[in-house]
Structure 1
Amino acid sequence: MRPLRYSINVTLDGCCHHEAGLPPDDESMSHWAAEMERADALVFGRVTYEMMQSVWRRPASGNWPDWMGQWQTPFAEAIDGARKHVISSTLTEVDWNAELLRGDLRKSIEELKQKPGAGLWVGGVTLPLALADLGLIDEYEFLVQPVLAGRGPTLLAGLRERVELELVDRHEFKSGVVALRFQPAPDHDRIQ
């Protein structure tokens, strides 16, 4: 069964707005490119899909925009080429190497997890909350930013039940960001 991995930047006070942390640098973009390449497919909700597509989809010209630094290109290429599954009840169609999934969330994700491969990756805020509530996330990675945001959406706000985690990996970046990777504790009762 393919694991479903969730990764997100989060400030010390729990804010997970995409602009709340430190600006990306070559080390963080290299990390995110590796995360994209470690997954067979990405799973997005509508908001994350539209946001990522607006920034990281290769233009029709085939050339990356002038604002993009060379250190961002590996991430852009990895996310642009990745297979994507979009969970949405409002979109009627998707492209960008994507498939629209509708209906029962648990069933859709369990079917994706049953397919052969190395893993699935989910990002964003709303969809991961629903997936955590269903006990479907197999690995959580938080890139803890040395920032106090003071406002904005907070990580997994509204989670119905506590999820006990065990630390499986830790990596410190030169910027002060600390990547913490967790898996649900083996004795944790998942919501079924």
Structure 2
Amino acid sequence: MRPLRYSINVTLDGCCHHEAGLPPDEESMRYWSDEMERADALLFGRVTYGMMESAWRKPATGTWPDWVTEWQMPFAEAIDQAKKYVVSSTLGEVDWNAELLRGDVGHAVQRLKQEPGEGLWVGGVTLPLALADLGLIDEYEFLVQPVIAGRGPTLLAGLRERIQLELVDRREFRSGAVAMRYRPVRRTS
């Protein structure tokens, strides 16, 4: 069974809006590119899919825009080429190497987890909350930015039950950001 990893940038006060943290730097982009190598496919909700597609889909010309720097290229190429699943009840279709998932999200994600492979990677806010409530997330990965946003959507706001986590990896960046990876502590009967 392949694990489902929730990975996201977050500020010290828990804000996970993509504009609340620091602009990506070479070290963090390299980190995210390496993490993408651990994923067979990406899982997005409608909003995150749209945001990522508008930023990271290679233009039809086949040439990346000037704002994509050389050190962003590995991430841009990895996300552009990755297999994607999009959970949405309102989108009629998706492309960008994506497949639309409809119906019972828990059942659909459980089916994806049963397939062989390295793992699935989920990002965003709303979909990960639903998946956490269903107990489907096997690993939580937070790149904590040294910023206090003071406003914006916060990480897993509205979670129905507390999830006890154990730290399995920690990495500090020159920028002051810290990547932390946790796994849920599974209760034994």
Corresponding residue of 2:18: 18
Aligned residues of 1:143 and 1:178 also touching (Cα < 8 A): yes
2-side partners of 1:27 and 1:151: how far apart?
Answer: 26
Are 2:189 and 1:157 aligned? Answer: no
The CA deviation at 1:188 is 7.1
Deviations along 1:56-92, one digit per CA (max 9) or x if unpaired, are 0000000000111101000000000000000000001
State, as a whole percentage, how many aligned pairs show the same letter.
77
Which ranges of 4 or more aligned residues in structure 1 deviate by more than 4 Å? none
1-side partners of 2:36 and 2:78: how far apart?
Answer: 6
| Runs of 5+ consecutive residues of structure 2 not aligned to the other structure | none
Corresponding residue of 1:95: 95
Give the alignment's Cα RMSD to 1 decimal: 1.0
Corresponding residue of 2:46: 46
Aligned residues of 1:139 and 1:184 also touching (Cα < 8 A): yes
2-side partners of 1:142 and 1:24: how far apart?
Answer: 14
Corresponding residue of 1:130: 130
2-side partners of 1:28 and 1:109: how far apart?
Answer: 28
1-side partners of 2:109 and 2:9: how far apart?
Answer: 23
* Equivalent position amino acid for 2:119 in 1: G
**SS in structure 1 opposite 2:161?**
coil
**SS in structure 1 opposite 2:32?**
helix
For these two proteins, the number of residue pairs brought into alignment is 189
Deviations along 1:104-145, one digit per CA (max 9) or x if unpaired, are 011100000000100000000000000000000000001111
**SS in structure 2 opposite 1:66?**
coil
| Runs of 5+ consecutive residues of structure 1 not aligned to the other structure | none
